[in-house]
Amino acid sequence: MSTHTSPSTTRTAGRSVPQWLAPIIGVVFTLVGIAGFFVTGFSGWTEHHPDQTLLGFAVNPLHNVVHLLLGLVGIAMSRAERSARTYGWLLVVGYGAVLVYGLVVSGQEDGNFLNINTADNVLHALTILGGLATALWPRRKDVDTRY
């Protein structure tokens, strides 16, 4: 494994940890968004259907689009460390809001336009942690390896 050092970070294979986390999270969201359409099809965009689940997580077409967009954004923002960290903050803020929303509407038909259930809420909390890791992963100082 090769390392490249820059003034502010030590990088492995030319990428920082946030630059690895952002596309990993992005690819997972992209795949989940695509797979969700196999469950929901393309109708009932904002409807609450408790029986439309992907591995126990409630989905509807709008929910799938959100996953797809967030996934593609994560992949695109992974090119630079700064934008990868920004993606982490987007996950924290966005999924923080979605978690609060989900805790209010989970299991209800009225107002649950993303078809969120309890499993979704747990996953959204974990996504916030992933976003925090991406945003706040420590920068490592240059290490002089010439001994």
Report the C-alpha gap between 77 and 80 in whole angstroms: 7
Domain, as residue range, for 109: 15-43+56-136
Cα gap 99→76, rounded to integer Å: 24
Is there a domain that residue 65 lies in? yes
Question: What token pair was written down for 126?
Answer: 């974990």
Asked, for residue 51, whether it belongs to a domain, the answer is: no
Number of domains comprising the chain: 1
User: 114-126: buried (b, 16+ CB within 10 Å) or exposed (e) per residue?
Assistant: bbbbeebbebbee
Rounded to two decimals, the pTM is 0.82
Per-residue pLDDT of the chain (147 residues; tens, 9 = 90+): 445 544 444 444 589 999 999 999 999 999 999 999 999 999 889 887 778 889 999 899 999 999 999 999 999 999 999 999 999 999 999 999 999 999 999 878 889 899 999 999 999 999 999 999 999 999 876 444 455
Q: Is residue 115 part of a domain?
A: yes
In a domain, residue 4? The reply is no
**Domain-embedded: residue 144:** no
